[in-house]
Structure 1
Amino acid sequence: MTFQSIVLPMSEDDPRSKTFTYEGHDIITLKKEFEREYTIPDPQTAQEVIGYYARRIAEAVKLPAQFAVLAPKVREFFEQKAFGHAVDLNDHAIVKAMSTAVAHSVCVDVFKKALQALTIEEQTPQLLEPARLLSTCQPFPWSRPVWEGQKCIFNLVPCDNDFEREFAKFLDNAKDVTAFAKLPRAFGFTIEYTDTSTNLRNYEPDFVAIDKSGVQWLLESKGQENVDVLRKDAAAIRWCENATNLTEKQWKYLKIPQKEFEALQPTCLGDLKALSPVLLG
Structure 2
Amino acid sequence: KVLEMKYVAIDMLKGMEVIKRRWDLPVPQDSKSVIAYYTDQILKQLKIGGAFASFYPVIKKYVVEKLFTEKVNLEDPRVLYKLSSPDVQGKLINLFVNAFRDMTFTEREPERKDTIKLSDTRPFVWSKLVYPANRCIFNYVPCDNDFEVDFTKFLDGVEDVGAFCKIVPKIGFFVEYKDSKDNLRLYYPDFVVTNDQSERLIIETKGREDVDV
Q: Please, what TM-score do these two structures have when normalized by structure 2? A: 0.67
Aligned-pair CA distance for 1:163: 1.8
Q: Which structure: larger Rg?
A: 1
CA deviation profile, 1:65-119 (whole Å, cap 9, x unmatched)? 132332111334422xxxxxx4675899987665442331121011122223334
- Deviation, structure 1 residue 211: 2.9
Which residue is equivalent to 2:102? 117
Aligned residue number for residue 128 of structure 2: 144
Assess, with a 3 A threshold, how the Cα gap between structure 1 residues 16 and 134 changes in structure 2: closer, same or farther: closer
**1:13-92 alignment to 2 at 5 Å?**
15-17=4-6, 39-42=24-27, 48=31, 52-53=34-35, 55-61=37-43, 62=49, 63-66=51-54, 67-79=56-68, 86=69
2:153 equivalent to 1:169: yes
Q: Displacement of 1:157 after TM fit?
A: 0.9
User: How many Å separate the matches in 2 of 1:144 and 1:159?
Assistant: 7
TM-score relative to the length of structure 1? 0.53
Gaps of 5+ in 2: 8-21, 44-48
> Is the CA contact 2:193–2:200 (under 8 Å) kept in the aligned structure 1?
yes
Cα pair distance change 1:51/1:78, threshold 3 Å: farther
From the superposition, tell whether residues 128 and 97 of structure 1 become closer, same or farther in structure 2 (CA, over 3 Å).
same
Counterpart in 1 of 2:162? 178
Kindly indicate which of the two structures has a greater share of residues assigned to helix: 1
User: 1:209 corresponds to which residue?
Assistant: 193
Identity of aligned residues (%): 35
Measured against aligned partners, the alpha-carbon deviations of 1:106-152 in whole angstroms (never above 9, x if no partner) come to 210111222233343345644333x4432232332322111121222
- Pairwise CA RMSD: 3.8
Q: Which runs of 5+ in 1 are unaligned?
A: 1-13, 19-36, 80-85, 230-281
CA distance in 2, matches of 1:38, 1:97: 17
User: Distance in 2 between the 1:144 and 1:95 partners?
Assistant: 50
